[in-house]
Amino acid sequence: MTLSFPASRTNAYTGSPLDRAGHHREDAGWIAAAFTDPATLFAPVWRARSLMRGVEAGAPEGVLLGGMAAEKLRQAGGPWAFLGLWDARPVFAIDVSQEEAPPVSADAGSFTDLRAVAGLLPVGGASVLAHARGMMHWRVKHRFCGVCASALDVRSAGNALSCPGCGAQHFPRTDPAVIMLVVRGDHCLLGHSVRFPQKMYSTLAGFVEPGESLEEAVRREVMEEAGIAVGLVSYHSSQPWPFPSSIMLGFHAEGLSEAITIDRDELQDARWFSRAELRDPQGFSLPRADSIARRLLEDWMNA
Ligand SMILES: [Zn+2]
């Protein structure tokens, strides 16, 4: 048996136009000059929200600020990080959450939750905003050393933290989560979680635990949540998920058994669905078109 259903399209939050230009991170002089250069662009993050315009019109796009608008962001004095170069222009993320009202003019746009509109954003733009949001979450939430509790020093243009007390180095975290479509013949397994919108059925998912391979995480999660044994596991594609700090690793998995035993703490329901049922959903809905779950489903359905 083969489980090869290649990815038909790229996933949301991928396709960044930025060159991360990591070699600049250790060049403090270059970073200091870039930080105040009027041509430099800033992606502001305010209380986990990203600056966009066109949201009300249903055509959102991310907004980066330069020139005088950027000066107001810098004066707020929050954490920042160098993200990379966009057509040779430096791009920084900057957090302005400590301000009661975001220090941007109303005509620049409004601060919006990226997850709510990601499917509507131009490819690449969502990736830059996700990068900025993930980095700023890390910077805001990691101020003290987890080893000795000293206040951390910022390094690598905001991309690393070091402890003056014990010397520990701290780097941004990306926690792997597996998301998998279990298939058996012409059927696939979908679950309805209490966290899902009403009647939506989607793929199972869960975090990888320490000391576990990705394949083992897929098999464990499916057994725990639905009581189905899994054989072959085949990688499909991945999707950044910096909400706050994950990456979704997508798989197709071979179901070896059929009788479902639901973990009621995780799922309200789980069922096998045929391709025909999924092509014409009656009484249930599928995950959002821009989700990796939907991509896993469609690439199997169309195989
Ligand atoms: Zn320390």
Question: What's the pLDDT tens digit per position in 99-109?
Answer: 999 999 989 99
Environment of ion ligand 1 (residues, CB < 5 A): 145, 147-148, 150, 163, 165-166, 168
pLDDT of residue 197: 85
Mean pLDDT along residues 49-67: 95
* Separation of CA 177 and ligand 1 centre (Å): 28
Beta strands 110-112; 153-155: pairing state? unpaired
167's torsion region: left (phi>0), alpha (psi -120 to 50) or beta? left
* Separation of CA 174 and ligand 1 centre (Å): 21
* Separation of CA 146 and ligand 1 centre (Å): 7
* Separation of CA 170 and ligand 1 centre (Å): 10
Mean pLDDT along residues 249-262: 97
* Separation of CA 20 and ligand 1 centre (Å): 28
pLDDT of residue 9: 81
Provide the b/e sequence for 192-229 (b: ≥16 CB within 10 Å).
Answer: bbeeeeeebbbbbbbebeeeeeebebbbbbbeebbebe
* Separation of CA 162 and ligand 1 centre (Å): 8
- What average pLDDT does the structure give for the chain? 95
pLDDT band at 289 (very low <50, low <70, confident <90, very high): confident
pLDDT band at 303 (very low <50, low <70, confident <90, very high): confident
pLDDT digits (tens, 9 = 90+) for 152-184: 999 999 999 999 999 999 999 999 999 999 999
pLDDT over 90 percentage in the chain: 88
* Separation of CA 158 and ligand 1 centre (Å): 17
pLDDT of residue 1: 61
* Separation of CA 151 and ligand 1 centre (Å): 8
pLDDT for residue 251 is more than 70: yes
Cα–Cα dist 149/164, whole Å? 10
pLDDT for residue 20 is more than 80: yes
pLDDT band at 90 (very low <50, low <70, confident <90, very high): very high
Q: How far is CA 210 from the centre of its chain?
A: 20
* Separation of CA 164 and ligand 1 centre (Å): 7
Considering only the top CATH level, what class is 22-141? alpha beta
pLDDT band at 123 (very low <50, low <70, confident <90, very high): confident
* Separation of CA 169 and ligand 1 centre (Å): 8
* Separation of CA 160 and ligand 1 centre (Å): 14
CATH topology of domain 175-301: Nucleoside Triphosphate Pyrophosphohydrolase (3.90.79)
Three-state secondary structure of the chain: CCCCCCCCCCCCCCCCCCECCHHHHHCHHHHHHHHHCCCCEEEEEECCEEEEECCCCCCCEECCECHHHHHHHHHCCCCEEEEEEECCEEEEEEECCCCCCCCCCHHHCEEECHHHHHHHCCCCHHHHHHHHHHHHHHHHHCCECCCCCCECEEEHHHCEEECCCCCCEECCCCEEEEEEEEEECCEEEEEEECCCCCCECECEEEECCCCCCHHHHHHHHHHHHHCCCEEEEEEEEEEEECCCCEEEEEEEEEECCCCCCCCCCCEEEEEEEEHHHHHCCCCCECCCCCCHHHHHHHHHHCC
* Separation of CA 171 and ligand 1 centre (Å): 13
* Separation of CA 137 and ligand 1 centre (Å): 20
Q: Alpha-carbon Rg of the chain, whole angstroms? A: 22
pLDDT for residue 204 is more than 70: yes
* Separation of CA 104 and ligand 1 centre (Å): 36
pLDDT of residue 119: 82
* Separation of CA 150 and ligand 1 centre (Å): 5
pLDDT band at 7 (very low <50, low <70, confident <90, very high): confident
